[in-house]
Amino acid sequence: MAPAKRPTNSPTSPTAAIKARARELGFELVGIAPAERPPHADFYLDWLERGYHGEMAYLAREDAVRRRLDPADALPGARQIIVVAMSYAGGADGPTDDPRQPVIARYARGLDYHAIFEEKLEQLAGALRQLAGDATRTRCYVDYGPVLERDHAQRAGIGWIGKNTCLIHPEFGSYLFLGTILTDAELQNDAPFLPDHCGTCDRCIWACPTGAIEESRALDARLCISYLTIELRGPIPIELRPAIGNRIFGCDVCQQVCPWNKKVRETKEPRFAPRAGPDVPELVELMRLSEEEFEARYADSPLARAKRRGLLRNVAVALGNWADPVAIPALIDGLNDDDPLVRGHAAWALGCIDRPEATKALEFRLQLEDDGWVRTEIGLALER
């Protein structure tokens, strides 16, 4: 006679056991959702159709879109999606009022969360195979895989998608890293998180420096400072540069103004804690980073994603917004950098500083410059 099957909601069931293991690994939140078409699939398709993804072509690739709409395409036979979350809240919001200092998004001030999450997700997937059988199939994703994490997180009961387009939990706010495990194991689904606690609040919409958030909860990435300073590989549009201020990697404004982030639990993961001291140099020092220095400083940091050329592009914009003559020598170094992306933005920044030495440097570089786009930037800077 076959043994009786344990109920999926019993304390000894694989569902309860895998949730307990997730918490042991440091995940503050864990939920389970069906591996089905995400509720906001049509919204996502419309978002792509409107071009709101900008130059992030990987989001619109046919195979990636197909997998985002059908999890079973990523893992044939998938039944459930385990969604886990870890808080990265902690530390001050950054010296936004000191124009000499760079502002870095909170999530990027510690070690690269991808490696930390991958390690923990693989451990959790291994525990699931032990519980449900070695034949159990799993596939883990952090935020680079073709998965609409926030949709599945809401359906797994972890939180709601706020007007700032972030997933928000009543106790942990929106400073959350999300991870998912697709599996063909049979687990018990959690009830979806149905309340929308944003109510009539629209602080995030009005606080966004570039107006990237629409009332429909659509984010136009082409206007988002996080996109402009991280994902965009080319020049930052001139009309958007002043709004960036001294933010050189990412932007937290829409989260900083959210009432649900005022009193949140701080992260328990020490590797997410902000770095301090010499790891946060002033803008002028950053403008002089060599390739070797960049690699040494940021190899294990999320800032590595921007690469040196992207980071120095952002630093030049921040120095232009500061417009203090003390930045001129560092910007002149940038004006003579090997990378045209750095040279062009350094030219823009020098054009923001009304001093003879800035003008002289631009005029001299114009005689040497052979890159058409950089020449245009220098010409516009001289006009200003």
User: Which of these three, 127, 149, 183, is where a domain ends?
Assistant: 183
Q: What integer pLDDT is reported at residue 10 of this predicted model?
A: 55
d(CA 217, CA 220) in angstroms, rounded, equals 10
Q: Which domain holds residue 140?
A: 14-91+106-183
Q: What is the pLDDT of residue 7?
A: 41
pLDDT of residue 275: 67
Please check whether residue 96 lies inside any domain of the structure.
Answer: no
* CATH code, 374: 1.25.10.10
**Domain shared by 170 and 307, yes or no:** no
344, part of any domain: yes
**Per-residue confidence (pLDDT) for residue 263, from 0 to 100:** 84
Active site residues: 143
Residue that finishes a domain, picked among 122, 153, 183: 183
pLDDT value for 336? 97
Of the three residues 158, 183, 208, the one that is the final residue of a domain is 183
Query: Contact 113/302 with Cβ under 8 angstroms?
Result: yes
Beta-carbon contacts of 77 under 8 Å, excluding residues fewer than 6 positions away, are 137, 184
Residues 161 and 290 grouped into a single domain? no
pLDDT means over runs of 10, the chain (384 residues): 43 86 96 96 96 95 94 94 94 70 92 92 96 94 90 97 97 96 96 96 97 96 98 98 97 96 86 66 94 94 96 98 97 98 98 97 97 98 93
Identity at 229, one-letter amino acid code: T
The span from the CA of 8 to the CA of 132, in Å, is 12
Model pLDDT, residue 276: 56
Q: What is the pLDDT of residue 165?
A: 97
> What contacts 10, CB < 8 A, 6 or more positions away?
16
pLDDT at 272: 86
**Domains: count for the chain:** 2
